[in-house]
Structure 1
């Protein structure tokens, strides 16, 4: 079937409007509360009679639960001013819309728990959610708790700009399923959650609870005995820049905030308790020398509002986790994921649709830096040698994790500059374009470059070409039946494989790619939250050369993660030594991810039942013995650990399981994105040809003072033999975006449905009452 969109070229498309996808704040109207209990049916096993006591309890407890969560949020916000809260608050700050949704989900959980507690008292036993609420009442209860109402597909048909540009929130990318891939929605489950109570208690929540006949090992013990290493090997195939790109693009796809509720209503501080009380799920440790037990603070991930009523009935009440950013590879890491954040990052005084830049600092060549955050003084470290009162505040970007390390700051800075470079060029080519059109067209190009670099240059290297061909394959067009939302296992386990490749040292190199005379290498923990090092220590170039001129860290089962991230992670004047490996394992249990064996079966791989099976996928017998000794049963192995220790596939940086899970996610992100750069109608054939010439090396050449680069920035090469001058790196010609001024002509664009390809021209112009070409046809592939 052929879809034809006819419009006048004299009409310049405007910006996508903000969509009403944010929930209202505050308590629901009292009138709804008054009427709701008539629909709340608490049925006994015998007579199915309405339990009025529970109805009354819900009516009276709802406002109390709402106020309790409000107070806890206020307590948390006030606590953020203390140095002890700095690391936790700064790492997981979220915008107000996500906080409102998270709050509503907390209220829903508390309301449900109130009903359960009363029902348990009445019926003398624990009742599951479905025994309390029929499915027809779940949506109403979610609405009363403040959860956003379902988004009707009709809203997508009313927004004409969606034909040209993606919305900033990702809403309506899929016209029939508006929230697929959108910000502030739940991470999807490819396998059901495995909570200890079936609904919300993480694995390991109940001390002494047996899994397959054995207790789960403490994640801190797993980290120390299996994961921690004092040494990482180097390889000479890929550069450290490839590792950093993985983190950068991960920040474009997923961001799961921590719970907003601080347990203040229970008189418990998550920073100073070793008890498992929502939302505190502390990481228990055991000092063998002193026999003293202690713990590391851990906040559970924020819950998501119940919104997918197509789930199997038994899974409706399971706690889901929130992804507050868009799942698409859409450069949200540059532009943000809400209209408010997008506006803060733009320079509206510019006629060429540019992004805002730093008003206080520029580099020696007058190149721009990222703008500073509005709230000052910010939490970032300062130069200890700087005069009193002289500060370099945290940078602002589309993702607030930008300040976590120097490498992230460098990549964010490159893309800020690239946007402004492209926007300026497009305005010169099309002086009749409005600044909004220039901004949107540039954003569209930058999003495409993110997709190309990720899918063409990065993904085949980390999963291997064989896995790419098997699970992803060639692109055949947009498929509206594909849900591109990020999966829980991808965000929480599979794409965290890169944590095992983090380098312990950040090297800064001079123009000859040798150690910089004035800028020595930095231990990793000295680079956290330190934007001053970019501004005051040579700009982005020394770090860029260090990333390209340093071999990537290899993965080895006996040297998984450096002490830099298992003992010294992101310490901001706190008394705790954070352990990234333990945090990852605990996060997987918090999210109730299915075990390693279940995920192997999901990918069509053999379940491991005996030591011999394990040694087929992990050749290191010592590691196999350690894991089986600690976990006792193969089905108990945490999926992140199991995927991490598998032997790597050929020409890959992952074993079979993670290669499968990453590939499946990437295929969904590609095929389910209506605005994918290769999708019919997104760009013209000429523009696609030009975009295909792009590379991260070219981005570096165009936006820094680096003059020599590898042809592929992800491949490690030695200076000078393996580097090329920027003049030899292919460039995109933006002439493909030159548009004639208003002629008043009619233009017809032709697009085929998924599964068909267009034979003939995709665009016809009406000249003197005649079309420029014969109409095309849609034929089967």
Structure 2
């Protein structure tokens, strides 16, 4: 019935695609955010198909019907045959096609880079470039996926949702000086959270910077028209005289499976566990390898080293036409960004991420070299795969056994995450939407506003003075020119995390100075988090309490009993009207922490539920975990830096340098690789099936490789603006 119409609409929507275009001299904070959400070719193919699908359905709806969708049964719009035709024509059928899983020994021994075929029965579960899972159905404002709050006058439980910037200003905003410090935990806990967050979730935003219907530039309009979903600035806001709204782009939609009869908007996760070091696509993983090495090493930086130790390779750039070589030369080596497993140079976001990326690049190469000494008959691909397998297990041990008990509290951890009992193919390890867009953003309220770097004596050093957080953003040159990663690691080991408290939520470095530059006003991370949750259709606070078996507050008194703070309850109810409406992220971080932990009951439930699914649904977890349980972050620092004194538990705050242990201390345990020893006669058929590493791909073809050339003037302005 709709075949001719579909053909026309697909052609029409293809004309409406607008590529991200950034020219020198017109950079704004949203430009940088957009660039760092750009993707590899495989992801762009998926997004293109999904955008075509979504836009075509929207046009069909508007052209065929004049009355509101609320009056329609959604199955009246497209038959199952129409939907199949549409999925095929847009390319979504291809993108969501069930992969064929190999049954050879290589496939049994090593996980795929993309995460496909981890689950043999359902090979897309937990893979990169698949939709986030849902524990609760989305609550969009209408049937076709408008975000919560899309219509400012739409009511929920008889109340209108407040502007997210108002929530940020009235509930979250905390002056940098008005914070309490965590007396127990180090800032490494915060850095490790972001390291794991970036390893598990990455949601691409819309590939276009202009609205689909009207063609308006989303960075300069306050009109709501997908993908533009601007953040309104209330009249009482200090920014009210400077801007009417803050630009915000909706997350790109994802494709749906071939059996879908109706398309409701879902979002895409484009990474898979282990991606920080190795990438989530074959293209990127090969790009990161040193294919000239017979040891299975990852590529490292050639122009520079950190006292003889490796830096990350530079993201080889294509010099944009708007930038002259003379301009680049005048900037010296500051024009480069580091290249790692996260797409588009996100490793450069701040100094802590650069340090951890560098640390684990070195650890992979150290493991590969040690494995070569243990098994000199192993070839480079076996060494690469075995080192990758060990490092994956190390990350699981450090996260599940070392990090999570500090977050949940030992008692809650024991209750919610029982001892690992082996792989369960019935468990879906996919990251859930609420985890990505809300729950695992909890640690934003523990970020310290000052970045401390310490000298060899673990004291402040005149060459590396403390700096405000926004001066450490996208500043890879600070590592190369200001002492390497050792001062950064000493700083996070000995500096405390910020303590979350009802009147001390999110520091102004994040709400008022995020991506501060000479052009464009800074972004607000708290408002971005809230808007993202609404964009993804996350239900309100009460629905998640119910999911976790927790009581839902029926009145102000019960609400105050849950939060333990009458003043905070008054603020939230004045904004939202009812606890049912409160955005899950802001309410979850408002709950008082459980004993010994740093999150309340709702976050403990959601985090434990996700991390338990990740480990129970991982087919490759079991074999290596028992062999790597003795390893610690401190040992990895000892093995890969010039730091010789470390804490026993790197997540616990060390008050005085005298409490640190030498790397030679028996409690700073080595990983004994003799367990991986194989006799020369044990070269099996599986090893022979490992294909030789192909010629390394050229980074110059990497999308967005202009980041540190075309955008360098903007990035540098963080530190002068």
Fold match (TM-score > 0.5): yes
Which residue, out of 76, 80, 83, partners 2:27?
83
Kept in 2: contact 1:129–1:317 (CA 8 A) = no
- Name whichever of 406-415 and 227-236 sits farther off: 227-236
Q: Structure 1 residues 80, 261: closer, same or farther in 2, change over 3 A?
A: farther
1:466, distance to aligned residue in structure 2 (A): 2.5
The aligned residue for residue 669 of structure 1 is 614
Please say if residues 65 and 110 of structure 1, whose CA atoms lie closer than 8 Å, have aligned partners that are also in contact: yes
1:590 aligns with 2:535: yes
Of the three residues 691, 706, 722, the one matched with 2:659 is: 722
* Map 1:307-386 → 2, pairs under 5 A: 307=257, 309=259, 316-326=262-272, 328=273, 331-363=274-306, 365-376=307-318
SS at match of 2:160: coil
Distance 1:57 1:393, change over 3 A: same
Partner of 1:168: 113
For the pair 1:447 / 2:392, whether they are aligned, the reply is yes
Match of 1:732 in 2: 671
How far apart in 1 are the matches of 2:615 and 2:370? 28
Q: After TM superposition, give the deviation of residue 133 of structure 1 in Å.
A: 1.6
Answer yes or no: is 1:650 the counterpart of 2:595.
Answer: yes
- Asked whether the equivalents of residues 232 and 561 of structure 1 are also in contact (C-alpha less than 8 Å), the reply is no
In the aligned structure 2, how far is the partner of 1:486 from the partner of 1:589?
18
Q: Which residue number corresponds to residue 245 of structure 2? A: 295
Q: Which residue of 2 aligns with 1:145?
A: 90
Cα offset for 1:307? 2.1
Partner residue of 1:697? 634
Q: Please say if residues 120 and 126 of structure 1, whose CA atoms lie closer than 8 Å, have aligned partners that are also in contact.
A: no
Does residue 1:707 correspond to 2:651, yes or no?
Answer: no
Structure-1 residue corresponding to 2:203: 256
User: Distance between the aligned counterparts of 2:509 and 2:612, measured in 1?
Assistant: 34
Q: Deviations over 1:249-306 (max 9, x none)?
A: 1111000011112235522000000010000000001233897570000000111101
Alpha-carbon displacement from aligned partner over 1:624-661 (angstroms, at most 9, x marks no partner):
10100111111110000110100111111000001100
Matches within 5 A, 1:78-227: 82-84=26-28, 86-121=31-66, 127=72, 129-149=74-94, 155-227=100-172
Cα distance in structure 1, aligned partners of 2:647 and 2:551 = 40
**Aligned match of 1:776:** none
1:64 matched to 2:12? The reply is yes
Q: How big is each residue's C-alpha offset from its partner over 1:364-423, in whole Å with a ceiling of 9 and x where there is no partner?
A: x2111000112255999xxx9996544351100001321110000000000000011111
CA contact (8 A) 2:131 2:266 kept: yes
1:235 lines up with 2:182 in the alignment:
yes
2:568 alignment partner, one of 623, 628, 640: 623
Task: Summarize the Cα distance change of 1:66–1:376 in structure 2 as closer, same or farther, 3 Å threshold.
Answer: closer
The Cα of 1:734 is off from its aligned counterpart by: 1.1
**TM-score normalised to structure 2 length:** 0.89
> 2:192 corresponds to which residue?
245
CA spacing shift, 1:122–1:200, aligned 2, 3 Å: closer
Q: Deviations over 1:511-553 (max 9, x none)?
A: 2211113211010000000000000001111111110111121
> Is the Cα contact below 8 Å between 2:427 and 2:616 reproduced in 1?
yes
Q: Is the 8 A contact 1:80 1:86 kept in 2?
A: no
Q: Tell me what 1:777 maps to.
A: none
Distance in structure 1 (CA, Å) of the matches to 2:462 and 2:607: 41
Kindly indicate whether the alpha-carbon contact (under 8 Å) linking 2:185 and 2:651 is maintained by their aligned counterparts in 1: yes
- SS of corresponding position for 2:13: helix
| TM-superposed deviation, 1:62 | 1.9
Match of 1:741 in 2: 680
Q: Which moved more, 1:132-141 or 1:718-727?
A: 132-141
Could you tell me whether the CA contact under 8 Å between 1:233 and 1:553 is conserved in 2?
yes
CA 1:152 to 1:479, structure 2 compared with 1: closer, same or farther past 3 Å? Answer: farther
Deviation, 1:615, is: 1.0
1:286 to 221, 226, 234: 234
| Change over 3 Å in CA distance of 1:59–1:656 after alignment to 2 | same
User: 8 Å contact 1:119–1:127 — kept in the other structure?
Assistant: no
Structure with the greater alpha carbon radius of gyration: 1
For the Cα contact (< 8 Å) 2:26–2:519, is it kept in 1?
Answer: no
Shift of 1:80: 8.8
Q: Distance in 2 between matches of 1:130 and 1:157?
A: 38
Kept after mapping to 1: 8 A contact 2:93/2:258: no
Q: Which stretch shows the higher mean deviation, 386-395 or 164-173? A: 386-395
Q: Give the gaps of 5 or more residues in structure 2.
A: 687-721
Structure 1: how far apart are the matches of 2:309 and 2:53? 49
Report how far residue 609 of structure 1 moved: 1.5
What is the CA-CA distance between 1:438 and the residue it aligns to?
Answer: 0.4
The CA distance in 2 between the partners of 1:146 and 1:424, in whole Å, is: 43
User: Structure with the greater relative contact order (CA < 8 A, sep ≥ 6): 1 or 2?
Assistant: 2
Distance 2:188 2:291 in 1: 33
Aligned length: 672
Q: CA deviation at 1:198?
A: 2.3
- 1:33 corresponds to which residue? none
TM-score, normalised to structure 1, is 0.82
Which residue, 465, 476, 479 being the options, matches 1:531? 476
CA distance 1:726–1:389, change in 2 (3 Å): closer
Question: Does residue 1:554 correspond to 2:499, yes or no?
Answer: yes
